[in-house]
Structure 1
């Protein structure tokens, strides 16, 4: 608590705020009017600093909660830490329900994702569209890069790195952004193998969309 108080004072002193001098008081002693005006200015600055510190703490709390869910924590786990109900956690951080559903699905389908995405990338030459060739090939290149990262991220001896949840966010982007974009940009399959790859990729994406859809929808 002393550290927080010191932080508030430092922020307040770094950003002084001028307030109107309420004027002299009958009980003033010496330079007390001037000192009172300075104290009121520090009080106003401290109030603003207090708000900034509280907002920063709330952001840090929200980020830590989201990272915990990306790393497999449930709302029940958050509830155990906060000492409040799961409903309270859901109300405070409504976006975590979506993160939880995505993380849960991704955790059970890493191999399916890399296999079908890899199959689509391997058959890309037979899926080139008649229009938008550049966009499609860019997405295929990003898809291949994403698959390589995924294979490294989820290897048996893989470590979390500086940002342990980054692998799950990257995997989510691989499915929800890159794979989705490649499917939408693909042309008509020129071979049965390409048709199978596109159909399989669409199946993975459809399963993802169904499993991660909001419970309210």
Structure 2
């Protein structure tokens, strides 16, 4: 977008939100209706300041979202620094949440098959892990786990594409592990077969590995 287009949008935003300011009163050098003209100019000035603040906030949100998406797609703080021309420390200070996202994405990227295998194994033995109490909650979590596995398999297929939200599959995979798989493990009852016990043990190991690798201490 050209600079003139940006100026036009900001001007339209300011004009769309008229504000009232205190009239400083007449000046000795006023000519004709200059007091009224000055008051209108001061009102436009106040509106322009408000528009400037909103535009700056919107731009900061867009920048943060773009930085986050880049990291979900495998970019490092060094990659962001190469774009901004500033240090990695500056990027870390401005977007402190990116370190956590980077660790999660790095671990997920190396364990897609492990996650789908162990989550699938756990889902296949869910009937032998259902607790005596809270069975409805457990059943719902297992349903979400199976849906998450299906989505993961589709998202990471060889020809999978998502131009509108290219990082969505990584967020969904993270949710599958950190929320759904965790919920199933925590809600599960005592295994009623050795196979169910193995599935629960393996899934618990995957989750423990995730927690260790994605924590600031484990990084």
TM norm structure 1: 0.98
Query: Residues 168-187 of structure 1, C-alpha deviation per residue, up to 9 Å, x if partnerless?
Result: 00000000000000000000
Q: In the alignment, does 2:35 pair up with 1:33? A: yes
Q: Deviation string for 1:144-186 (max 9, x for gaps)? A: 0000000000011111241000000000000000000000000
Q: 1:194 aligns with which of 188, 193, 196?
A: 196
Deviation string 1:87-119 (CA, Å, 9 cap, x unpaired) is 100000000000000000000000000000000
Q: CA deviation at 1:5?
A: 2.3
1:105-124 superposed matches below 5 A: 105-124=107-126
SS in 2 for 1:177: helix
Q: How does 1:68-147 map to 2 (within 5 A)?
A: 68-147=70-149
Match of 1:173 in 2: 175
Q: Using the alignment, how far apart are the partners of 2:34 and 2:100 within structure 1? A: 57
Deviations 1:12-59 (A, max 9, x none): 111111011111112212111101100000001100110010000000
Moved over 3 A (4+): none
SS of residue in 2 equivalent to 1:184: helix
Q: 1:189 to 1:216 in 2, by over 3 A?
A: closer
Distance 2:15 2:218 in 1: 48
Tell me how many residue pairs correspond in the alignment: 217
Q: Of 22, 35, 44, which residue of structure 1 is paired with 2:46? A: 44
Which residue does 2:9 correspond to in 1?
A: 7
Alignment gaps of 5+ in structure 1: none
* Residue 183 (structure 1) aligns with: 185
Hey, what's the Cα distance between the residues in 2 that align with 1:75 and 1:136?
39
Are 2:71 and 2:98, in contact at CA under 8 Å, matched by a contact in 1?
yes
Query: Does structure 1 conserve the Cα–Cα contact (< 8 Å) formed by 2:212 and 2:218?
Result: no
Structure 2, gaps ≥5 residues long: none
- For normalisation by structure 2, the TM-score amounts to 0.97
| Pairwise CA distance, 1:3 | 2.6
Match of 1:56 in 2: 58
Shift of 1:7: 2.1
CA RMSD of aligned residues (A): 1.2
SS of the counterpart of 1:121? helix
Give the Cα–Cα distance (whole angstroms) in 1 for the partners of residues 41 and 147 of structure 2: 59
The offset of 1:216, in angstroms, is 8.8
